[in-house]
Amino acid sequence: MKKFAALSVTTIAATALFATMAAPAHAGPSWNTRVKCQQTDPDGRKIPTRFGNSELGWNHFSGPHNIKTCRAVNAALSGKVDKKNGDRLEYWGDAINGGRHVRIIVIAQYSRKTADGRYDAGDGQKIGVITAYCKGMNKCPNWLNE
């Protein structure tokens, strides 16, 4: 009986050790998964724009690229996919104000996780918009947000 008890304690200790070794070294980066806006593309994909953080989503692109309204992002997402690489989708939209013209590029990840696996939107969810910007310039013009 003593051998059985000793074996059981050893088995439990080994199981506990291996279970902790199998756990990830750290969780993914902190990011806000709440949805700021969402648009359905012509193929029926619902693409969320999440608040995100400084690496992806609304908080990543709205300040640095001067896109302050969902309307600009949703306009591009309402069109067809212009470039596709696996789950990475690129949409192009055009904004025109009088004689002024700007092309808006929106890049979205249509999968639960980002390509590098660092971010996870959760079961049954999509990452959505990674970034948005105006082609050929660092910041979109202010009139885009009017």
Cα Rg of the chain, angstroms: 22
CA proximity to 46, closest of 35, 57, 59? 35
How do residues 34-79 score in pLDDT, each as one tens digit?
Answer: 999 999 999 999 999 999 999 999 999 999 999 999 999 999 999 9
In degrees rounded to 5, what are phi and psi of residue 72? Answer: -65, -40
Q: Which two tokens stand for residue 61?
A: 């692109």
Domain ranges of the chain: 32-145
pLDDT at 51: 98
pTM surpassing 0.85?
Answer: no
Mean pLDDT along residues 7-36: 60
pLDDT at 27: 66
